């Protein structure tokens, strides 16, 4: 992306984000999947695992909701647009590939944060209190960017068949949920589980949210935020580089 034209490219990225929200995100099935999938998993663990404190379960619900919603649609946008031939029209416009990726990420980030705030409200209605709302909301914003970047990385394979990408997405997302301290505290994971947990950005978000609701955490909070930032930069940069390389293969 040319630094001299950065403000204009940012404006075009925002136009891409608004297009994505209007076409892909404000749809009943997407909203239902984003809200009800985490809620159903939450209820299953609530009924079958009452030994877990409510704060732990709600922390898992918030983290899982953000993870599912921020990666719900973004992996399939490139295949959908490639299939509909709208990607060629977008690529022919004076908009950088990085701006397209950034716009897709922005739409996913906004959607993820909006739905996640609903689950935070559920936790407050259940009687939980926030110990540090600024820390938690900052972590949610950072993690939403990180998870959106993961969604864009999943969209890198140059296929115009959305089902192929969504299958790959599911294969990644569901295992991450169960090794990131969502329902089983990190201190109860076996050594092999911790090896995988430290490689998941969802682990660090869950740790911050758990602290915000209960006061307990596994890693130093500063370390959690730093790791979320590192993952965000790594995934975002990789997504932009790889999409710039593979976009011609979609045409």
For the chain, domain boundaries:
3-250
Report whether 224 contacts 139 (CB < 8 A): yes
Q: Is residue 37 scored above 60 in pLDDT?
A: yes
According to the model, what pLDDT value does residue 144 have?
Answer: 95
In the structure, what pLDDT confidence band is assigned to residue 42 with cuts at 50, 70 and 90?
low
Q: Is residue 32 scored above 80 in pLDDT?
A: no
Tokens of 70: 């921020």
Share of the chain above pLDDT 90, in %: 28
The owner of tokens 């891409």 is 16
According to the model, what pLDDT value does residue 109 have?
Answer: 94
DSSP output for 3-33 = GGGHHHHHHHHHHHHHHHIIIIISSHHHHHH
Over range 50-78, report the average pLDDT: 83
Residues whose CB falls within 8 Å of the CB of residue 64, separated by 6 or more in sequence, listed in order? 38, 41, 42, 177, 182
What gap in Å lies between CA 175 and CA 9, rounded to an integer?
36
Residues whose CB falls within 8 Å of the CB of residue 153, separated by 6 or more in sequence, listed in order? 235, 238, 239, 242
N-to-C CA span, the chain: 21
Greatest mean pLDDT among 5-14, 192-201, 241-250 lies in 192-201
According to the model, what pLDDT value does residue 10 have?
Answer: 87
Q: Is residue 250 scored above 70 in pLDDT?
A: no
Query: From the centroid of its chain, how far is CA 65?
Result: 9
Nearest to 228 by CA among 155, 152, 153, 140: 140
pLDDT in tens, 168-227: 787 888 888 888 888 778 888 888 888 889 999 999 999 999 999 988 889 999 999 999
Report whether 207 contacts 219 (CB < 8 A): yes
pLDDT in tens, 73-121: 888 888 888 777 777 777 777 788 888 899 999 999 998 998 888 889 8
According to the model, what pLDDT value does residue 4 have?
Answer: 43
Mean pLDDT, the chain, rounded, equals 84
Residue 85 Rama label (left phi>0; alpha psi -120 to 50; beta) = left
């Amino acid at each position: 992306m040319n630094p001299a034209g950065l403000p204009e490219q940012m404006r075009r990225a925002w136009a891409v984000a608004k297009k994505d929200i209007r076409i892909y995100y404000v749809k009943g099935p997407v909203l239902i999947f984003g809200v009800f999938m985490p809620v159903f998993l939450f209820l299953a663990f609530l009924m079958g695992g009452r030994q877990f404190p409510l704060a732990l379960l709600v922390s898992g619900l918030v983290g899982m909701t953000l993870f599912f919603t921020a990666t719900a649609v973004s992996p399939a946008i490139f295949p959908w647009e490639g299939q509909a031939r709208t990607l060629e029209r977008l690529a022919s416009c004076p908009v950088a590939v990085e701006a397209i990726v950034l716009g897709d990420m922005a739409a996913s980030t906004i959607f993820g944060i909006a739905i996640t705030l609903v689950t935070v409200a559920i936790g407050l209605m259940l009687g939980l209190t926030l110990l540090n709302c600024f820390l938690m909301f900052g972590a949610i914003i950072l993690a939403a960017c990180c998870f959106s970047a993961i969604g864009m990385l999943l969209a890198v394979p140059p296929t115009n068949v959305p089902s192929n990408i969504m299958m790959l997405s599911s294969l990644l997302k569901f295992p991450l949920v169960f090794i990131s301290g969502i329902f089983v505290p990190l201190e109860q994971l076996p050594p092999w589980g911790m090896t995988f947990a430290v490689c998941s950005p969802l682990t660090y978000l869950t740790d911050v949210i758990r602290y915000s609701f209960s006061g307990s955490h596994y890693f130093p909070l500063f370390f959690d935020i730093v790791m979320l930032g590192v993952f965000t930069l790594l995934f975002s940069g990789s997504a932009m580089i790889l999409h710039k390389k593979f976009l011609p293969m979609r045409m």
